[in-house]
Structure 1
């Protein structure tokens, strides 16, 4: 018999808030975490603004020992471990140093790259014949599975411990992979999430592609403009989101707080065929992903109350709205509410799907639709399809039952997950 899967813990490290309380306050009030970045200016980037979480040494020492932080400069692992442990604690689970691993619990925690700054340091030190000065954690910081390995060790996880990687779809994919494993009874709980390093060595390639905005260096908070007619590219961001997924029976037995239920979802690819390319989504695949997610969740398209979209503030925002409208067969005032967290945090790349999923679950749990900022001038392609009232610019306090969260990533890969508000019987 397949298990029902619920969410019992949340953790977040975002440009506009580290920790659930600060993050919730920020998204409810449309507070941006995008700031001027002096290093990007020094390096003569076209885009000199970014969304970067602020982590003090004092905060880092609550999660790592002084010895662990020696020669440590992997921001992605730092963000992921903080978000992951916070989610674990939020779920009411303990960090016991037992002799035996927790065979029922694991983690699927994704990333795009890991330890880019450590790689750079390695190149310079190796070329200068200083290999031994790299430190004993160089491998752990630079292997892609570093974040899941750190979490696995800190939490004593004995089930699957792995890292997935699917560009911007990574976080959404990790949730669906965890959901499937629990549903099939192969684990009782999985810490799902994703993270992204920050800094010029992560963001430089996007600046070179000219997909980042360069028009708002003097007004950072206005730079990320999803669905806006004056959008001129995305703002690079970073951070991590984490969710504890658990089978319902186990969660109820231990009296856990339940935020939401994962009803199902879908992952697919456009194969870079048709209109799909390395950087552009295949509309047929996007619509198919949404439709199959709804079918897998066992709901009707009309039951979706809100969408948390991918919506990056590029020329593809209008196409995304069109894909949603056609897949759901809903338009005008019948279209669900839709919002983009990227208006406040930028595009957190491999961390985006999980951070945005945390925001989606918070909306279900607390009954609100967070505002979109910087889109007073909605693009005509979008307003031709859906009513402007469905793109809220102020906080809406409203009970929601079902939210669809989707990510559409580089490589023409897609993920859509369906969350439902938890209501105790």
Structure 2
């Protein structure tokens, strides 16, 4: 079946280490961490008292919300998603439409794991106190999962698909592939794709209770997130949002848009929680199948991949992920691509991780570099037996990648892998 070529024409970010694309690019090139001590977590007796979340002044929101929309706004995921989404839209050369006619060929696919947990908490207290009439008119949009895509769709006047997907840590990468499929098949011209995640103790508390977060780095936050390291002791929670304007090549060329990269294809699948897969562990056969299917779908060969942006969360599963990449690609030793993990600098941004990491991946293609893996000087011996040390750089290197594979693997044994190419 004929598929149209699909490209990326806009980027937006709300990351723990950058609120603009230029700031974010500089941070990942320099290895600047956005992980910090959170006093509230200490006061609440969390074992892990550190996290990564976007930092900005309250008045910054005036650039994205009007006074009515700001009234009672307590959904951090909504804030992050709107900031990233609107910035990506403008970066692509579009404007916020005031037309009464919807943009029929333009849509939004913006995922989240949970939205408005602080607003929901506020609502519970008011209802229990008998103050239901004081909830405010914007409570529903802040607490429904599709509130983020609905808000962006209305802000931009989109008349095509406007929806929210939710697949745990795979959400952002899945949203990109959903947008790609819709445009490649001719059902849309432009889609704003991305994902967001709330921040705060009510989001991160469950993970702290599972004892899968590091607790020995509260006095040294920037050292805590250690993907592929021998001393890795769990993932650091994070939050934020990433957004990409995905567009048909024909549309982008007609309007003379700047093109960041091309999307060649990809695959979404599940391990069915079989063969070792569970709610929290991946089915390795399914992971390998996802990677191989993404390569086949993209019309490339494994050896065409210059770099991998992995899921790599700084847990015991890191070595298993590297093993899966080796098996899926059939490449080991010096033939293995460069591989890195953004989580060393921002933590694990949960549902937002795939989109934030995809923005970082696209920037590497556009700007000709591979960012380093912070806190990975002591490479895990199991990984070292599979991949040469120089394939896992600890500092940013000048390199011009042509093709990068980006993968995300989520709770529930769900997987997504997308293939980006330099344009």
Q: What TM-score do you get using the length of structure 1 for normalisation?
A: 0.99
Partners of 1:67 and 1:49 in 2: CA distance: 33
Cα deviation 1:374-394 (Å, max 9, x = unaligned): 011110010000000000111
Q: Does structure 1 residue 115 correspond to structure 2 residue 116?
A: yes
Question: 2:36: which partner in 1?
Answer: 35
Instruction: Flag structure 1 segments of 5+ consecutive residues without an equivalent.
Output: none
Partners of 2:346 and 2:132 in 1: CA distance: 37
Question: 2:197: which partner in 1?
Answer: 196
Cα deviation 1:196-249 (Å, max 9, x = unaligned): 000000000000111111110000000100000111000000000000010000
Question: 1:274: which partner in 2?
Answer: 275
Displacement of 1:403 after TM fit? 0.2
Displacement of 1:94 after TM fit? 1.1
SS in 1 for 2:315: coil
Question: 1:223: which partner in 2?
Answer: 224
Question: 2:174: which partner in 1?
Answer: 173
Partners of 2:72 and 2:351 in 1: CA distance: 24
Cα deviation 1:249-285 (Å, max 9, x = unaligned): 0110000000100000000000000110100000000
Question: 1:313: which partner in 2?
Answer: 314
Q: How does 1:233-382 map to 2 (within 5 A)?
A: 233-382=234-383
Partners of 1:153 and 1:57 in 2: CA distance: 23
Partners of 1:267 and 1:105 in 2: CA distance: 23
Cα deviation 1:294-342 (Å, max 9, x = unaligned): 0000000000000000000000000000000110011111110000000
SS in 1 for 2:11: strand
Partners of 1:399 and 1:379 in 2: CA distance: 27
SS in 2 for 1:243: strand
Partners of 1:96 and 1:127 in 2: CA distance: 41
Cα deviation 1:145-164 (Å, max 9, x = unaligned): 00001100110111000000
Partners of 2:114 and 2:70 in 1: CA distance: 19
Partners of 1:14 and 1:173 in 2: CA distance: 19
Partners of 2:345 and 2:58 in 1: CA distance: 25
Partners of 2:422 and 2:353 in 1: CA distance: 21
CA RMSD of aligned residues (A): 0.6
Partners of 1:68 and 1:187 in 2: CA distance: 29
Q: Does structure 1 residue 78 correspond to structure 2 residue 90?
A: no
Partners of 1:129 and 1:361 in 2: CA distance: 50
Question: 2:16: which partner in 1?
Answer: 15
Partners of 1:99 and 1:24 in 2: CA distance: 37
Partners of 1:300 and 1:334 in 2: CA distance: 13
Partners of 2:171 and 2:64 in 1: CA distance: 24
SS in 1 for 2:222: helix
Displacement of 1:396 after TM fit? 0.5
Question: 2:53: which partner in 1?
Answer: 52
Q: How does 1:136-151 map to 2 (within 5 A)?
A: 136-151=137-152
SS in 2 for 1:216: coil
Q: Does structure 1 residue 402 correspond to structure 2 residue 388?
A: no
Partners of 2:261 and 2:366 in 1: CA distance: 7
SS in 1 for 2:362: helix
SS in 1 for 2:63: coil
Partners of 2:70 and 2:221 in 1: CA distance: 31
SS in 2 for 1:418: strand
Displacement of 1:361 after TM fit? 0.2
SS in 1 for 2:334: coil
Displacement of 1:68 after TM fit? 1.0
Displacement of 1:2 after TM fit? 2.2
SS in 1 for 2:393: coil
SS in 2 for 1:35: strand
Partners of 1:80 and 1:68 in 2: CA distance: 14
Displacement of 1:96 after TM fit? 2.1
Instruction: Flag structure 2 segments of 5+ consecutive residues without an equivalent.
Output: none
Partners of 1:24 and 1:336 in 2: CA distance: 21
SS in 1 for 2:296: helix
Structure 1 window deviating more from structure 2 (32-41 vs 61-70): it is 61-70
Q: Does structure 1 residue 100 correspond to structure 2 residue 97?
A: no
Displacement of 1:66 after TM fit? 2.0
Aligned residues: 422
Displacement of 1:134 after TM fit? 1.2
Partners of 1:31 and 1:333 in 2: CA distance: 28
Displacement of 1:99 after TM fit? 1.2
SS in 2 for 1:61: helix
